[in-house]
Structure 1
């Protein structure tokens, strides 16, 4: 792994999840506090900013009528019921903490579900940049992080998931996925361990 062939994917860093008044903030609040996901991600971005690591954000948006959804179930049904991630709303915006990195973050729109590769040109962008290693940060650990990580693995990428930059619905779920699920197809490390692997100072 080196900075030239590595991409960091930022998933779910939007107000509806991470802002205190976000519609779905309560879903990841406990886990986020335990892992310090947001502060660790900001520290990681500070360290990666001057490097050649490709930093990509894959926000999720829906129209006000949620016409993109067909018979949604589970968390997607909840998103529709509570009116989260509507395009143009404050809740759908990228969190303020990432604004100072926007010159380094490549935004890839089109995500409508769990997997950041579906309905986007993410794979084409990664191939254009000769990316071999994908690092995942964000939320929700058991849904979008897992779905995107599995897809990346199946497409031939080496996948790394950051245990201290991801948030689940519960603390138990976070630990369970990092200890039992992710190791089946990915490397699981902290953001400081990643920086060491990239030969960058934590």
Structure 2
């Protein structure tokens, strides 16, 4: 049995509406995702280093057909409702097939209805139950779900690391700005190849 590292990898937004070419919101992150290599680098991390994490967690965002969970939404949540993205049971809400090979080691936590992966989910309880102290974030959108989840994790006392090459945003500028100027205010930023788990 391996020694616990007290570290969890959190995967956010790896769903067809973002990453499939026919996904409703694919164009929103397409350029940034291509430049950062978010998908390829995350898959490589899972392939080469999955065993270094005590937990690997996915928190998909899902809504009912009528979006009854969203009352007078604004911003990105309004956009999601307007374009009909992330409806439960639809292609766009499904986890991308590239992660199928790792489904036995990924714990999926349902309930995410907004920007923060801790909101309406039992993510914090799962992390506490497993003695997790360090949370490593990968996924999209950097300026929205990654940032809000990272800030909340830091407020809860977790050590936070954002993987610059395993995240993507709406623009290349936005991605770089958050990695260089925002995330260092409450956590650390590194590439997947230089990540130190301890």
Whether these two folds match at TM > 0.5 is: yes
| Matching of residues 61-80 of structure 1 within 5 Å | 61-80=62-81
Determine if contact 1:23/1:84 at 8 Å carries over to the other structure.
yes
Determine if contact 2:134/2:159 at 8 Å carries over to the other structure.
yes
Q: Evaluate the alpha carbon distance shift between residue 174 and residue 52 of structure 1 in structure 2; reply closer, same or farther with a 3 A threshold.
A: closer
Determine if contact 2:9/2:53 at 8 Å carries over to the other structure.
no
- Aligned equivalent of 2:114: 113
Unpaired segments ≥5 residues, structure 1: none
CA RMSD of aligned residues (A): 1.2
Q: CA offsets, 1:27-82, max 9 Å, x none?
A: 00000000000000000011233345310000000000000001000010000000
Q: Evaluate the alpha carbon distance shift between residue 3 and residue 136 of structure 1 in structure 2; reply closer, same or farther with a 3 A threshold.
A: farther
The alignment of Structure 1 onto Structure 2 pairs a total of residues equal to 196
- Aligned equivalent of 2:151: 150
Q: CA offsets, 1:107-156, max 9 Å, x none?
A: 00000000000100000000011000000000000000000000000000
Deviation at 1:4, TM superposition (A): 2.5
- Aligned equivalent of 1:85: 86
Q: CA offsets, 1:76-109, max 9 Å, x none?
A: 0000000000000010000010000000000000
List structure 1 runs of 4+ shifted beyond 6 angstroms. Answer: none
SS at structure 1 position matched to 2:104? coil
Unpaired segments ≥5 residues, structure 2: none
